[in-house]
Amino acid sequence: MRKIILISFVLLCFGFSKAQTITPDPRLLDVYSQEYLDANLENEIEYFNWFLDNSYFVAFVGLEKAETLPYLYEIDKETKEKKNKILAIDEESFNPLLSSYEIFYNKESAYRIGNTGYVIAFYSQKKLTKNYNQYKNENQ
């Protein structure tokens, strides 16, 4: 729920205008219905598409450091409750909208990926806004 509120807030901070049609990333269908995506504004779809690949980074920090962090969990699509620990991530198909994590205003949040020594860190809201504005400016 926090992610949806955060994403909505970030979208309200931008004044968008786009002449071409934006195609939703197929991973959005894991979270939203086709009807919802069809009815949504193109600038929101563009942000969601960008967010899927640019809201986080994965790094190897070793088992000792990773063990100090909470596990990353999947969320159930219907109940939005934590489901299973995420034991591995394929960055090509990973959908952060199906994971349980927090995005803080001014600091990253990090979670361990199983017992692999890898962690996933989600950028702060401030950093996401800065990076998205930079992306928009470079791709107008």
77 near 38, Cβ under 8 Å? no
33-70 burial, b at 16+ Cβ within 10 Å, e below that, comes to eeeebeebebbbbbbbbbbbeebbeeeebeeeebeebe
Give the pLDDT confidence of 72-127 residue by residue, as tens digits. 999 998 888 999 999 999 999 999 999 999 999 999 999 999 999 999 999 999 99
Residue with tokens 């001014």: 106
Domain boundaries, the chain: 2-138
Show Cβ contacts of residue 26 under 8 Å, excluding neighbours closer than 6 positions: none
Give the pLDDT confidence of 28-47 residue by residue, as tens digits. 999 999 998 888 888 899 99
